[in-house]
Structure formats: structure tokens, C-alpha cells
Amino acid sequence: MTRNKHNGFTLVELLIAMALMTFLLASLGLGMRASMQTYTENDKLANVTQTARVVLNRMGTEIRSARSVTATDTSVTIYPAFVEGGVSRIEYNYSNGTLYYNQYSGSDAASYALLTQTVVLTSEDDMVCIKNFAVSTQTGTDHSGNPAVANVIVTIQINCGDDVYPYTISVAPRRMQVY
């Protein structure tokens, strides 16, 4: 009895190996695609969060060190503690979907758009826009017994695609504290 030696794979073995390889490559491709989508979403959220954080931290620092603060539903006016030749008034004003930063120094004025109505990150689906800017205050009395703003609460609502992200800061002007 003689045996035939095979020096290779049969057609069935090759077809099974190719089917397994196709399945593995398809799985790897789907995993990479999901990973890239997650990365894109996280990057978009990080950009939106960082933008809101910078704006609110700056606003909070200026309110905290202010001599006095006035506010309406969509604006905050800050009067810095030390004026000599410097900034005499700072305003954050929300108008027509844009948050403006206005700075007044004597007769000079400067205005900047901090958050605009629409910013496209990578595609139309990634549009970032400020949806709402709301300001509320709590009143109290200063060290002399005069009525003054004791606490300022600012909320910014930012839309990114279909998602809404609210960011809030609550700040008490230090000049209101009695030692």
C-alpha cells in the first residue's frame, strides 16, 4: 500500500483560512472605526468644555476681584477694584447668539466676541453654538449696610451637534465680604 504525500493545502483548507482572515480583518476594521468615532467625539467635547471653562474662569476671576457688579438677564457689568489709568469697566453681554467681552479704559473701549453663534469644528454635524447665556444675582448688603450684589450665577448653554452642554459658575465678589 502506497501513501500519497501532500505538499500543500487543499482547496477547502484555503477557503476556510480565507474566510477566517476576512472575518478577523472586518472585525479589526469595525473596531478601528468605532475607536476613531469615540476619539472624535471626545475631542469635540474637550474643545467645547475648554472654551466654556476659559470664559467662565475669566469671568469668575473678574467678578471675584470687583469693586461692584451689576447684572441683567443677559449681561454682567464689572467695576474693577483698582482703576488708576487701568480698566474702569468690563462687560459681558449676550446679544444675537454671541457673547461679547467689552473693556473700557477711560475714553478707550475694546470689544471682542468670545463665543459666537456658530463654530464648525470638522463638519456641519459638529457645529458649536452658544444657545443660552443667563445671569442671576443674589443681593445682600456690603460692609457699610448698603444693598449690593452678593452672588452672581452665570449659566452658559452650548450646543454641539445635537448635544446640549450647560456650564454654570457661582461667584461672590470678595469686596462684599466683611472681615
**Which of the pair, 161 or 95, is modelled with greater confidence?**
95
In a domain, 122, yes or no: yes
In a domain, 120, yes or no: yes
**Which of the pair, 175 or 147, is modelled with greater confidence?**
147
Residue type, 32: M
Residue partners of 61: CB distance under 8 A and separation at least 6: none
The mean pLDDT of 56-78, rounded to a whole number, is 90
pLDDT at position 179:
42
In a domain, 123, yes or no: yes
The mean pLDDT of 156-177, rounded to a whole number, is 82
pLDDT at position 119:
55
The mean pLDDT of 54-66, rounded to a whole number, is 90
The mean pLDDT of 48-77, rounded to a whole number, is 89
The reported pTM is: 0.71
Does residue 93 surpass a pLDDT of 90? yes
Does residue 159 surpass a pLDDT of 70? yes
Cα 70 to Cα 162: distance, rounded to the nearest angstrom: 34
Cα 151 to Cα 159: distance, rounded to the nearest angstrom: 26
pLDDT at position 36:
92
In a domain, 22, yes or no: yes
Q: Is the dihedral of CA 31, 36, 42, 44 positive or negative?
A: negative
In a domain, 18, yes or no: yes
Does residue 116 surpass a pLDDT of 80? no
In a domain, 2, yes or no: no
Edge to edge, the sheet with strand 127-141 lists 119-120, 127-141, 147-160, 163-171
Report the chain's mean pLDDT, rounded to a whole number: 84
pLDDT at position 33:
94
In a domain, 107, yes or no: no
161 — alpha (psi -120 to 50), left (phi > 0) or beta? left
> What domain count does the chain have?
1
**Which of the pair, 116 or 171, is modelled with greater confidence?**
171
pLDDT at position 171:
92
The mean pLDDT of 110-139, rounded to a whole number, is 75
**What is the residue range of 46's domain?**
11-83+115-176
Does residue 68 surpass a pLDDT of 80? yes
